[in-house]
Homo-oligomer: A and B are copies of this chain.
Amino acid sequence: MEFWFTERQTEHLGITLRVRESLLVEQTPFQHLAVLDTYQYGRMLVLDGAIQTTEADEFVYHEMITHVPMTVHPKPKEVLVIGGGDGGTVREILKHPDLKHVRLVEVDDRVVAAARRFLPTLSQALDDPRVEVMITDGAEHVRAMRGVYDVIIVDSTDPVGPAVKLFQQDFYQAVHEALTAEGVFVTQSKSPYLDRKLIREVLGIVRSLFPVALPYTAAVPTYPSGLWSFVLGSKVNHPVKFDEGRAEKLKTRFYSPEVHRAAFVLPREIRGDLLPTE
């Protein structure tokens, strides 16, 4: 008997993966959660039917959402992650030598528990003494903070369910205020092929708050269309003028200084659509 999991990525498109074993299926107070062991990509975290991360390709997303903003800031010491309860983003943040403290604010403690049990290569980072895990609402937390974080990374689910408020104007305003004077912010912003309208909206808001706001991309096999986008906002530093020395020394599988620069090069049509004035 073969057991296949299919994510319907849009109404008309899906990815399907053969499953060796279903390790965990539960309804949390926030979402439906599953951990499946797949033949192709290893263990896989699925929230509300959408693939969040797999053991085989998680490095692409986690390195690219982390090292780009972390090297745009000249010396990040205090970092906030919203979402990201699997620990992959925290693992990457800890590679930066000047880091003093990273706070992970995850709304659903069942995600953290599932990752601790089934995804140790991601979640073991959460045991580092520099890491603090807070189980609370990320938007509320950010509203309570002023000038605290050097880097804020929104490593959330897509804007349905618990993450809706993480894609709205007042949240980005609060993020801006929670950052230090040279603060850098990044959020995942879905597929440049399938979700252009969302990226335009996010970019428009971020641009209204930060002097520098740019999208970048990375090729993540298990995400819809295989190409993913991020929107970065920076108070001072331009994202292609980053700390190349520190970037070069990072132990990574995907990220490099060259990859950092290339990630900001958008296909001509997408660039014309998202950055029409440049």
Contact = CB atoms under 8 A, between A and B. Distances in A.
Interface of A: 4, 6, 10-18, 38-41, 57, 60, 193, 217, 219-221, 225-227, 252-256, 258-259, 261-262, 265-269, 271
12 contacts: A11-B39, A12-B39, A15-B15, A16-B16, A193-B219, A217-B219, A219-B226, A221-B225, A252-B268, A253-B269, A254-B269, A255-B268
What is the total number of copies of this protein in its complex?
Answer: 2
Listed residue (A60, A225, A226, A255) with the most chain B CB atoms within 10 angstroms of its CB: A226
Contacts of A261: 262, 265
A157 to B, nearest CB: 20
Contacts of A6: 16
Nearest to A14: B16
A10 B226 contact: no
Given A15-B15, A57-B193, A259 B252 contact: no
The 4 nearest A-B residue pairs measured at CB: A226-B226, A12-B39, A262-B262, A262-B265
A14 B271 CA distance: 30
User: What is the interface of chain A mostly: helix, strand, loop, or mixed?
Assistant: mixed
Contacts of A10: 40
Contact of A256 (B17, B220, B227, B268): B268
Nearest to A8: B16
Contacts of A60: 267
A187 B273 CA distance: 30
Given A12-B39, A221-B226, A262-B262, 11 more contacts: A12-B17, A13-B15, A13-B17, A13-B40, A57-B193, A193-B221, A221-B227, A226-B226, A254-B268, A255-B267, A255-B268
Nearest to A221: B225
Contacts of A217: 219
A192 to B, nearest CB: 9
Contacts of A266: 259
A252 to B, nearest CB: 6
Given A226-B221, A227-B226, A16 B15 contact: yes
A252 B72 CA distance: 31
Contacts of A225: 219, 221, 226
